[in-house]
Structure formats: structure tokens, C-alpha cells
A and B are shown apart, each in its own frame.
Chain A
Amino acid sequence: MSQRFKNIDYIGIVLWLFRAAIVVIVVWGTVSKLFLGQGNAYTATDWIDFLVAGLAQGSLYALIALGYTLVYGVLFMINFAHGEFLMSGTMTATIFVALPLSASGFLDANPILGMLIIMVVAMLVSVGVALLTERVAYRPLRRAPRLVPLITAIGASFFWQYFFRGLYGSALVPFPELEVLKGEWAVFGIAVLKTRAVVMVASVIMLIGLYVFIMRTKTGTAIRAVAEDKDIAALMGIDVDRTISITFATGAAMAGAAGILYGMVFRQVHFFMGFVPGIKAFTAAVLGGIGSIPGAALGGLFLGLFESVGPPLFLEGLGIPGAHQLKDVIAFTMLVLVLIFRPQGIVGERLAEKKA
């Protein structure tokens, strides 16, 4: 035992050095940016712009991360194909609903109804794809070691990506721009792009809705029961397969909605759009503490903020060229830092052995 403690100490020192190094770099960069005037001179408005962009991006990550977290909660499986659920719904709804509605002028005449229709279609398609994937690629492997469904998930991700590419082509599809959402709103004197404001509000509504669904409804209780212990849940008369399907459907619906919000902000969709946000959302879910809904939300927001504020704040402060290119470096370094301090994520509970 004594030897073990000695080693932990030694490693502990290295870890402390690592943390200290990152903190020093961040503080040094920030100080030289803010007080020594290294790099560009930003105004307060610029900083607010960075913050808002980060928050909007972060709320999208949060919505996608929910799907990861929900599925992980019940199956302890990394659903690599989650980003593809997003893409499938968004592409389909854009091509078959949004573009015709926009061309006919319906969308600009009834923006709210129009967007709702588009969103519902996207969610339905995403749910359909998710259920099909679950049925074909995951369900038969429920008792297999955990790496096996990870591989089928990767397979499903490739499959759907290239399936939809074959279906809709590889070209970029423009997402229609709503007249009412052009320009900015002033919120407390801060100018915020309308699309971003809508994304943030919509995300918050959906997050709360989901939280209520999981915590207050019977189905939500069933999901939590299955997450706790599948066998006991089955003994309690819960249809485990059905509950798992519902979990997938819920996550995919969130992804479908997130995809449409994504289209609204960036005004273009294509077959590869799900992959990178999917990975970022997975990162966000882990950052927040995988399996936890508030964790996914927080993780998403933090990740969005790191990516947006980090490069101008401390990378530029260090005089690094092309700072924005390195946003992923910041995102992942922060992830490591957070996980060193709190191996269970920001709000995650300490996972029991079998879950981790």
C-alpha cells in the first residue's frame, strides 16, 4: 500500500504541474491580451459578440449532446451515429419541405407555422432513422461487450452519411432565410443577431421540456429506471426494449430540431454536417458529465464559449498566428483540464465501476 501512495504522489505532482502549466498559459495570455494590449484591440461590443456567438453555438451543442447523454444513460454506449440522425432529418426537411415552402412564399407569410412544420418533419425523419438504426444495428448486440456496439455505431454513421449523400447529392443545400429573422434585436442594449437569439431561446425551451419529460412523466420515469438497472426495471413491468427505443427517439428528435436551428443560423446544410457537431456534442456530454441532462447542457455551453472566446482571449495574447484555427485545441485541452480536476465531468456523479 505504501508503495502505491508513493506513486500516486509522484503522478499527482506531474498532474499538478500540468494543471499549473495550463493555468499559467491561460492567465498569461489573458493578461497580456487585456492589460498589455497584445494583438488586436477589442471593444466591449466585440467581446459581447464573442460571448453571444459562443453561447449560441454552445446551445446547439447542448441540444445534440442530450441525445448522447440519454442513450449513454440507458445503454452505456457511445452512439457515434447521433450526428447522422441530425443530418438525415435536417437534409430531408430542408429539401422536401423548407425549400418548397420558401419558394411558394408560405414560409415568409407564416414564419412560425412554417418553421414548426419544417422542424416536425425533421424530427420525424431523425426519429425514423434512429429507430431503424437501433433496431438493426444496436438491439441484437445488447449483451455483447461494449466495444462491439461502438463499432456498429461507427458503421451506422458512415452508412447514413453516404446513404444520404447518394440520395440528395453532395452539393451544399441553402437553407431558406426568413425575412423576419434578418438583422438584430437589442436585448438590454446589447445587439444580438435575431437567429442567434431564437436558437438560444428555442434551446432553453427544449431543454426544460426534456427535463420535465424525463423527471415528471411516466415514460421519463421508465427511462430513468432502465438507466438504473435494466433487469430490475424489467421485473417492475417496464418494457425495456420499448423504453430504449423511446430514449433513442427522444434523443433523435432533439437532434432533428437542433439540425433545423443549425440550418437557420448557418443557412446551409449538406451531407457531412452531422459529423463534426456530433463529435463536439459527444465532447460536451463528457465535459458536463455523461449521462446527466443538466451536464450535457452545461457542457455544451462551456464548449461553445471556450471555442469562441478562447482564441481571441489567450491565444492572441500569446501572439499566436491564426489563433481561431486552434479552437479545437483549446476545446480539448480544457476538456482534459476539467477531467483532471473532476474525472466525472462538471456535474456528473461519480460513476460506479460497471458504468465507467
Chain B
Amino acid sequence: MKRTIFLVLIAIFVVMGLAACGGQKLECTDPIGCVEVAPDEPILLASSLVISGPNTELGLDSQYGVEIAIDFRGDVLGHPVELQPEDDGCNAEGGQTSATKIVSNPQIVAMIGTSCSGAGVPAAKIISDNGYVMVSPSNTAPSLTDPELHEAGYLRTAHNDKVQGRAMAEFAINELGVTKAAAIHDGDPYTEGLASVFSEAFQELGGEIVAFEAIDANADDVIAPLTTIAAAGPPEFLYYPVFIPLGSLITKQAQDVEGLDGVILAAADGVQSPSFLEAAGDAAEGMYVSGPDLGFGNEIYDKFLTAYQEKYGTEPTAPFHAHAFDATNMVLDAIEKVAQQADDGTLLIGRQALRDALFATSGMEGITGTITCDEYGDCADPKIAVSQVQGGEFVPIWP
């Protein structure tokens, strides 16, 4: 009896297999393979962002950005777009595992991620070696797009630390005319990178770095390090390119430290988000924040914020949702550009063609500015804007 059941099962399988094989075929001519999306199948994207652990709000916020971009887009070439969210854990092993999982599914077209540069390094290698492509909304480490280290399938919409740190130094020296500055980082690659680049550029432009201090990211009391900085100068300009929790802590406590009362505060896009303004309150008034020109007041972004609030019940909790939104649109645009469509709706997406299309992205209008990719995958608008917090809002003032 068992054997009969077995045979029947095999027969069913064979019939189904044959049925699925019928129909007209598109030929895949891409050197590194194609994704075939059947008529009733969705186009599958994956994300690998940090959605567990202490940095959760950063990655979840970006993931929401991706989801909203997909919602806004609707169907692409007659197919719905589906997201498979993965977790990069904000560490190298998380990046490796999630990337391995993604490349083991041949239906996934591209990946949005990773959140953290540390996760991005191994992920970029695996994604590239397997012919996939990734666009990171928040990796900023220079090494990822370094001509010697760049992996073929890696792009990002976030600003390279080299660009952003330098922009702030130029702004401080040329616009504000300060000569003595201090920088703080919290041991995260992003903040450490920005603080170092800023310090180098600031000194190069003729300024003096009176203190370069580090704080443990878990610290709650920042009075002691701030006192140290005050005693070292005191500086006229305090640059702390950290994330929201520590950023708002420093912003609020800097006023309480003697010698820092008149200091100019400045941070980077790690705090460029409404929830920072809410958390820091009045203390943030007058401080400078570098980052992409989010075009507050811009139509898409307003629509985006409304959708975000409606769908997730909160204001954006971190800054990189905008980059994630742009990254997703970049990918979807590229898919629309390169996908071949059969009469029955089957799509064939060449992986090399998709990569080429992504690297060829040029002049795309996104929330974060005009997106143009260079050959090493840096796509962010080279224009770094510096905004000032005025009346509880970011107001772009430079350039």
C-alpha cells in the first residue's frame, strides 16, 4: 500500500513539473545569470538591516523607508513587489549570515542593506561573489567604496564619511570662522570615521583641534568627558557625529558644563531626524547638523512622512529612512529599465544588466538629493547641506 501512495505522489509531481515547464521562454543571456519572475509571482527584494539589539531603531527605521517606497511604487511591470526583511545585527557575522541567506534564494533580485558598515564588509563580498547587488542606505565607512577594496555588487546612497566630515570642517572654518574645535565619537565605525575625517580636514584648513575625545556608546553621563573638553580649550565648536540617544544627551548636557556655555554645537546625519528634535528639545536650538538636504517642505518627503506616521504610528526614529527610500527606488527603477517581459507577463531580470543599470544611475531625484553613482558605488548627492535647528526644525542654511 505504501508503494502505491508513493507512486501516486511521484506521478503528481511529474505532472505538475511538466505543467509548470510549459509556455514560452525568454532566453537568459546575462553573464552572471537572471531572475525569472513568473506571471503570478511577486518581484522579491530583500533587506538586511539591524532590527535587533540596541541599534534597532536605526535599522527598523530604514526598513520602514524601504516598505514605504514599495507601497508608493505599487506594481512594477505588472508584478507586486515583496520584501523579505533580514537582520544584519549590526555586526560582521550578522551581515555574513543574512547575505548568505539572501544569495541562497535565486528569486531575490537585490538587497537593500546593510545598516552598519561592519556588517557591510562581509555582506558586500558575498553578495558580489554570487552575482547579486546591494544598495546600502546607511554604510558610511570609506573602505567600502575605496577603489582597492570595492566589491563589484556594492552601492550606497549614504554619504561617505570622507565627504561629510570634510564638509562640516569647511563649513566651520569658512562660514562660521571658528579656529578651535573639539570632536567626540562613541567607538562606532560611523562616528569614529566622521570625527577623524573632520579633525584632519579642520587642521588642514588651518584650524586647531583642542580635544579629540571618545565616549562609550553605552554611557549615560557625559558631563565628565565634556568637562575634560572644556578644560582643554575651551573649543568654540563642538562636533559630535553620533546617533540620537548619545547625541541628545550631549546636546542637553553641554549647556550644563562650565566653559561650554557659548560653544557652537554640530552633529552629522546620525541625528538628522524629527525624533532627535523631540528628544533634545530646546537644547538643540541653534545647533548645526550636516547631511543630505532632505528638502524639508519637499513634496515627496511630506507625503513620505505622512505615510510613515500612518503606517507605523510614530515619527521616523532615525535618519536613514530617506536614504533607504531612495535606495529602493533606485533598485526598482533599474529593474524597470532592464527587465525583459514576455507576453504572459513573465519577467527576466539579468543580474549583470541590473548592476550596470544601478551603477549608471544618474540624476535621479530622490529625497536625499540628486542621486548619481560613481564607479565605486558612491551614489549620494555630493552636495552636503548644513542645516541649523531653528524653531524646532532643520532649516538648510549652507551652501
Judging by beta carbons under 8 Å apart, are B232 and A172 in contact?
A: no
Is residue B74 contacting chain A, with contact meaning CB distance below 8 A?
Answer: no
Judging by beta carbons under 8 Å apart, are B187 and A169 in contact?
A: no
Judging by beta carbons under 8 Å apart, are A172 and B214 in contact?
A: no
Known pairs A40-B231, A308-B221; A268 contacts B249 (CB<8 A): yes
Judging by beta carbons under 8 Å apart, are A170 and B245 in contact?
A: no
Judging by beta carbons under 8 Å apart, are B56 and A165 in contact?
A: yes
From B223, B245, B281, A270 is in contact (CB under 8 Å) with B245
Question: Closest residue of chain B to A311, judged by CB?
Answer: B224
Taken residue by residue from 43 to 62, chain A's Cβ proximity to chain B (1 for < 8 Å, 0 otherwise) reads as 10110011001101100000
From B212, B220, B228, A266 is in contact (CB under 8 Å) with B220
Chain B nearest CB from A336 CB (Å) reads 19
Is residue A19 contacting chain B, with contact meaning CB distance below 8 A?
Answer: no
Question: Closest residue of chain B to A266, judged by CB?
Answer: B220
Known pairs A266-B249, A272-B54, A322-B213; A174 contacts B231 (CB<8 A): no
Is residue B60 contacting chain A, with contact meaning CB distance below 8 A?
Answer: yes
Judging by beta carbons under 8 Å apart, are B258 and A172 in contact?
A: no
Chain A nearest CB from B194 CB (Å) reads 15
The interface residues of chain B lying within 8 Å CB-to-CB of A45 are: 258
Chain B nearest CB from A284 CB (Å) reads 14
Is residue B248 contacting chain A, with contact meaning CB distance below 8 A?
Answer: yes
Known pairs A41-B231, A54-B224, A170-B56; A276 contacts B218 (CB<8 A): yes
- State the CA gap A134–B256 with chains docked (Å): 41
Is residue B100 contacting chain A, with contact meaning CB distance below 8 A?
Answer: no
The interface residues of chain A lying within 8 Å CB-to-CB of B275 are: 171-172
Taken residue by residue from 160 to 197, chain A's Cβ proximity to chain B (1 for < 8 Å, 0 otherwise) reads as 00000100011111100100000000000001010000
Is residue B216 contacting chain A, with contact meaning CB distance below 8 A?
Answer: yes
- State the CA gap A158–B336 with chains docked (Å): 43
- State the CA gap A275–B275 with chains docked (Å): 22
The interface residues of chain A lying within 8 Å CB-to-CB of B213 are: 322-325
The interface residues of chain A lying within 8 Å CB-to-CB of B57 are: 170-172
Known pairs A45-B258, A325-B187; A312 contacts B214 (CB<8 A): no
Taken residue by residue from 202 to 221, chain A's Cβ proximity to chain B (1 for < 8 Å, 0 otherwise) reads as 00000000000000000000
Question: Closest residue of chain A to B249, judged by CB?
Answer: A266
Judging by beta carbons under 8 Å apart, are A49 and B232 in contact?
A: no
- State the CA gap A349–B67 with chains docked (Å): 58
Judging by beta carbons under 8 Å apart, are B279 and A308 in contact?
A: no
Judging by beta carbons under 8 Å apart, are A53 and B245 in contact?
A: no
The interface residues of chain A lying within 8 Å CB-to-CB of B221 are: 53, 56-57, 266, 307-308
For B56, B224, B227, B314, the residue with the greatest tally of chain A CB atoms inside 10 Å of its CB is B224
Which residues from 183 to 225 on chain B have a C-beta closer than 8 Å to any C-beta of chain A? 187, 211-216, 218-221, 223-225
Taken residue by residue from 304 to 323, chain A's Cβ proximity to chain B (1 for < 8 Å, 0 otherwise) reads as 00011101100010000111
Judging by beta carbons under 8 Å apart, are A267 and B216 in contact?
A: no
Judging by beta carbons under 8 Å apart, are B279 and A172 in contact?
A: yes
The interface residues of chain B lying within 8 Å CB-to-CB of A327 are: 216, 219, 224
From A172, A193, A267, A316, B244 is in contact (CB under 8 Å) with A172
Known pairs A171-B57, A268-B279, A325-B214; A50 contacts B314 (CB<8 A): no
For B231, B278, B280, B314, the residue with the greatest tally of chain A CB atoms inside 10 Å of its CB is B231
The interface residues of chain B lying within 8 Å CB-to-CB of A272 are: 54
The interface residues of chain B lying within 8 Å CB-to-CB of A42 are: 227, 231
Is residue B252 contacting chain A, with contact meaning CB distance below 8 A?
Answer: yes
Is residue B317 contacting chain A, with contact meaning CB distance below 8 A?
Answer: yes
The interface residues of chain B lying within 8 Å CB-to-CB of A321 are: 212, 214
Known pairs A41-B231, A49-B223, A272-B54; A324 contacts B249 (CB<8 A): no
Taken residue by residue from 80 to 99, chain B's Cβ proximity to chain A (1 for < 8 Å, 0 otherwise) reads as 00000000000000000000
Number of interface residues of B (CB under 8 A): 40
Number of interface residues of A (CB under 8 A): 45
Taken residue by residue from 234 to 277, chain B's Cβ proximity to chain A (1 for < 8 Å, 0 otherwise) reads as 00000000001100110010001110000000000000000100
The interface residues of chain A lying within 8 Å CB-to-CB of B281 are: 174, 177, 267
Chain B nearest CB from A316 CB (Å) reads 7
Is residue A277 contacting chain B, with contact meaning CB distance below 8 A?
Answer: yes
From A50, A174, A191, A325, B279 is in contact (CB under 8 Å) with A174
Known pairs A53-B221, A266-B249; A193 contacts B231 (CB<8 A): no
Which residues from 50 to 107 on chain B have a C-beta closer than 8 Å to any C-beta of chain A? 54, 56-57, 60
Judging by beta carbons under 8 Å apart, are A40 and B256 in contact?
A: no
Taken residue by residue from 256 to 286, chain A's Cβ proximity to chain B (1 for < 8 Å, 0 otherwise) reads as 0000001000111010110111000000000
- State the CA gap A69–B221 with chains docked (Å): 24
From B228, B279, B280, A316 is in contact (CB under 8 Å) with B228
Judging by beta carbons under 8 Å apart, are B257 and A49 in contact?
A: yes
Question: Closest residue of chain B to A194, judged by CB?
Answer: B256
The interface residues of chain B lying within 8 Å CB-to-CB of A322 are: 212-214
The interface residues of chain A lying within 8 Å CB-to-CB of B215 are: 324-325
Chain A nearest CB from B55 CB (Å) reads 9
The interface residues of chain A lying within 8 Å CB-to-CB of B258 are: 45-46, 49, 191
Question: Closest residue of chain A to B215, judged by CB?
Answer: A324
- State the CA gap A56–B253 with chains docked (Å): 14
- State the CA gap A154–B245 with chains docked (Å): 24
- State the CA gap A82–B398 with chains docked (Å): 48
Which residues from 335 to 379 on chain B have a C-beta closer than 8 Å to any C-beta of chain A? none
The interface residues of chain B lying within 8 Å CB-to-CB of A41 are: 231
Known pairs A50-B224, A53-B221, A325-B187; A43 contacts B214 (CB<8 A): no
The interface residues of chain B lying within 8 Å CB-to-CB of A40 are: 211, 228, 231-232
Jot down 13 A-B pairs with beta carbons below 8 A, ordered by A.
A40-B211, A46-B227, A46-B230, A169-B313, A171-B314, A171-B317, A172-B317, A270-B245, A322-B214, A324-B213, A324-B224, A325-B216, A328-B216
A268-B279, A311-B224, A327-B219 known, 14 other contacts, Cβ within 8 Å: A40-B228, A40-B232, A43-B231, A49-B257, A170-B317, A171-B315, A171-B317, A172-B248, A172-B275, A174-B278, A268-B245, A268-B252, A308-B223, A324-B214
